């Protein structure tokens, strides 16, 4: 008997109605708006190609489109909506700021709203990092925080090269593209930042050395150690190393704790500032407040965005004050003083702390992983389930394809796309990522309950069954 057979469609519908908190459904034809979007928006638009919806209302983990259909949102603004859509504490925080008449635009001038946000951020940091930390407010996107980190470490060290990793995603500016892995947005561009040395990222299921587990970690560390110690390696002394504790866009690949510890040892031994990009995996997402905390290391620089603004644009860089040698104005931006985002961010961080959402992300994530593993046991084309906390992924494979060096079948991009579309038809929004877009990604709001996770699993089972039946037919 299927592990999902005890979840009835009637029960799922009741759950949907119980939790959605949405008003009477709309009945608006989305076609004209979608056609105008196609005609008027840039060809660079991405999400609407895979998720062609006109969204009208949202509450918690649910969104409702213009036709009245309700979807479970397991994309959640690419992890931005930590508390889901229109959470009361965020709405209240924004409303209070607007009613108080505080300035909406302050550049980097101080306000009580800003001070409260800074104190909340520092209160979230590990104590041994916070005691010597400085914060830089950046432009509203996470990419600008990464740009700031590159400029800071280059200035502080007087060096220029950067160590970055295969599969990384750090943004879409010229600088951040240079240190990111995905080739697609880079192929048409010239003049990317020079001096980037690409390194293999440990990947248990698709190990770059063709092995797995601890042996793969050991080979990875030895390669890096050789690169840094060999006077003929061709790699100049780096200004920084940058990494994600969990590669999101790269396919939900978790950095092993021992590997993180070894990298911290090597970077400290060679005087290389370590930048940890926590833009997607930070703020409780992984089951710790920050992804690097799983390994117990202390980085030199942390970049933050997405969830810290409570759904509004905001990004910061937090770093060890020993690096704070750059001059006034060395990094600036007009929209560094977003008071609404700071207020929403403060409310979000307090709610996460007061309601124990860090621990909840760990336990809810374990429940979601269990459901995904059950799904894997039902469908042989789910090759791998991975991630941490509420940042999980399933790699979709072709079980009939030629296996790789580790004996794993090749990815199946077409089936991954079909699963995403089947999920959408059944009321679930998920995103694809990873190599060849074959990893189905889950980034639900941190407030998701185990009952709602069961509902997600039931939709996944229906969608997976549908595409398997089509393949057999």
216-248: b (≥16 Cβ within 10 Å) or e: bbbbbbeebeebbeeeeeeeeebbbbbbbbbbb
pLDDT tens digits, one per residue of 83-118: 999 999 999 999 999 999 989 889 999 999 999 999
Is residue 6 pLDDT above 90, yes or no? no
Q: Return d(Cα 44, Cα 112) in angstroms, integer.
A: 39
Cα–Cα dist 209/219, whole Å: 7
Q: Specify the pLDDT at position 18.
A: 44
Radius of gyration of the CA atoms of the chain, in A: 22
* Residue 365: predicted pLDDT: 98
Residue indicated by tokens 């992924």: 393
26: annotated active-site residue: no
pLDDT value at residue 24: 54
Q: Among 336, 302, 406, which Cα is nearest to 109's? A: 336
- Angle (CA) 320-324-325 rounded to 5° is 150
Per-residue pLDDT tens over the stretch 322-352: 999 999 999 999 999 899 999 999 999 999 9
Q: What is the pLDDT of residue 10?
A: 39
DSSP state of 322: G
How crowded is residue 379: how many other Cβ atoms within 10 Å of its Cβ?
19
Distance, CA of 46 to CA of 374 (rounded, Å):
31
In a domain, 70, yes or no: no
pLDDT at 13 over 70: no
245 φ, ψ (degrees, to nearest 5)? -60, -30
With respect to residue 69, please indicate whether it lies within any of the assigned structural domains.
no
In 53-209, the DSSP E strands lie at 55-59, 62-65, 70-73, 133-137, 161-165, 196-199
The yes-or-no verdict on residue 3 having pLDDT over 90 is no
DSSP secondary structure letters along 242-289:
EE-SEETTTTSEEPPHHHHHHHHHHHHHTT-PEEEE-TTTTTTTTSSS
Give dist(CA 123, CA 334) in Å, integer.
26
Question: Collapsing DSSP states into helix, strand and coil, what is residue 290?
Answer: coil
Which residues have a Cβ under 8 Å from the Cβ of 172 and sit 6 or more positions away? 143, 185
| Residue 319 near residue 153 (C-beta atoms within 8 A) | no
> Is residue 321 one of the residues assigned to a domain?
yes
Tens of pLDDT, residues 265-295: 999 999 999 999 999 999 999 999 999 999 9
Flag whether 221 is in a domain. yes
For residue 144, being part of any structural domain is answered with: yes
The predicted pLDDT at position 94 comes to 97
Answer whether 382's CB lies under 8 Å from 375's CB. yes
Question: Which of residues 192 and 262 earns the better pLDDT score?
Answer: 262
Please indicate, yes or no, if residue 322 is contained in any of the structural domains: yes
Structural contact between residues 113 and 338, judged by C-beta atoms closer than 8 angstroms: no
pLDDT at 191: 83
What is d(CA 439, CA 393) in angstroms, rounded to the nearest whole number?
Answer: 6
Question: What angle separates helix 357-378 from helix 339-354, to the nearest 10 degrees?
Answer: 80
Report pLDDT for 23.
56
Predicted local distance difference test score (pLDDT) of residue 187: 87
**Domain of 187?**
131-333
Range 218-225 average pLDDT: 97
CB 105 within 8 A of CB 137: no
* Residue among 62, 169, 205, 319 flagged as catalytic: 169
**What 3-state class would DSSP assign to 195?**
coil
Tell me whether strands 246-247 and 238-243 are parallel, antiparallel or unpaired: unpaired
Residue 181 domain-assigned? yes
Asked whether residue 396 is assigned to any structural domain, the reply reads no
The strand pairing partners of 163, in sequence order, are: 197, 241
**Contact (CB, 8 A) for 315 and 144:** yes
Whole-number mean pLDDT of the chain?
Answer: 93
Residues 324 and 304: their CA atoms lie apart, in Å, by 18
Cβ pair 439, 395 in contact under 8 A: yes
Alpha-carbon gap, residue 277 to 290, rounded angstroms: 10
For residue 316, give the CATH number of its domain.
3.40.640.10
Please state the domain count of the chain: 1
Task: Please state whether 158 falls in left (phi above 0), alpha (psi between -120 and 50) or beta.
Answer: left
Find the mean pLDDT for residues 125-154: 97
Question: Which among 179, 95, 103, 172 is positioned nearest to 139, based on CA atoms?
Answer: 172
């Amino acid at each position: 008997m299927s592990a999902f057979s005890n979840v009835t469609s009637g029960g799922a519908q009741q759950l949907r109605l119980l939790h959605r908190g949405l008003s009477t459904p709309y009945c608006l034809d989305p076609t004209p708006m979608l056609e105008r979007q196609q005609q008027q928006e840039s060809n660079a638009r991405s999400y609407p190609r895979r998720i062609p919806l006109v969204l009208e209302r949202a509450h918690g983990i649910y969104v409702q489109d213009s036709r009245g259909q309700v979807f479970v949102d397991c994309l959640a603004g690419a992890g931005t909506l930590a508390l889901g859509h229109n959470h009361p504490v965020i709405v209240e925080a924004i409303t209070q700021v607007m009613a108080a008449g505080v300035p909406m635009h302050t550049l980097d001038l101080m306000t009580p709203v800003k001070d409260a946000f800074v104190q909340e951020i520092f209160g979230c940091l590990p104590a041994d990092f916070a005691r010597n930390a400085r914060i830089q407010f950046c432009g509203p996107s996470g990419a600008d925080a990464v740009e700031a980190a590159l400029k800071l470490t280059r200035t502080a060290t007087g060096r220029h090269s950067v160590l970055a990793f295969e599969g990384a995603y750090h943004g879409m500016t010229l600088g951040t593209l240079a240190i990111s892995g995905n080739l697609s947005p880079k192929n048409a561009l010239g003049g990317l930042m020079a001096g980037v040395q690409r390194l293999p990222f440990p990947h248990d299921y698709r190990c770059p050395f063709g092995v797995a587990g601890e042996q793969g970690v050991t080979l990875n560390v030895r390669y890096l150690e050789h690169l840094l110690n060999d006077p003929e390696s061709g790699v100049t002394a780096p200004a920084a190393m940058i990494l994600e504790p969990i590669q999101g866009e790269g396919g939900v690949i978790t950095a092993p704790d021992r590997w993180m510890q070894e990298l911290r040892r090597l970077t400290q031994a060679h005087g290389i500032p370590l930048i940890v990009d926590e833009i997607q995996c930070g703020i409780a997402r992984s089951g710790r407040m920050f992804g690097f905390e799983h390994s117990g290391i202390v980085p030199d620089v942390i970049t933050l965005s997405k969830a810290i603004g409570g759904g509004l644009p905001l990004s910061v860089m937090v770093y060890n004050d020993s690096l704070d040698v750059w001059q006034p104005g060395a990094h600036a931006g007009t929209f560094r003083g977003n008071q609404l985002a700071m207020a929403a961010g403060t409310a979000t961080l307090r709610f996460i702390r007061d309601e124990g959402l860090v621990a909840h992300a760990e336990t809810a994530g374990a429940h979601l992983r269990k459901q995904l593993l059950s799904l894997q046991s039902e469908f042989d084309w789910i090759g791998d389930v991975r991630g941490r906390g509420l940042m999980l992924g399933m790699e979709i494979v072709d079980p009939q394809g030629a296996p790789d060096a580790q004996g794993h079948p090749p990815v199946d991009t077409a089936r991954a796309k079909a699963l995403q579309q089947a999920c959408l038809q059944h009321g679930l929004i998920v995103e694809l990522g990873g190599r060849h877009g074959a990893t189905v990604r889950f980034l639900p709001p941190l407030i998701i309950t185990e009952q709602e996770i069961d509902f997600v699993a039931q939709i996944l089972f229906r969608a997976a069954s549908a595409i398997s039946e089509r393949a057999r037919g």
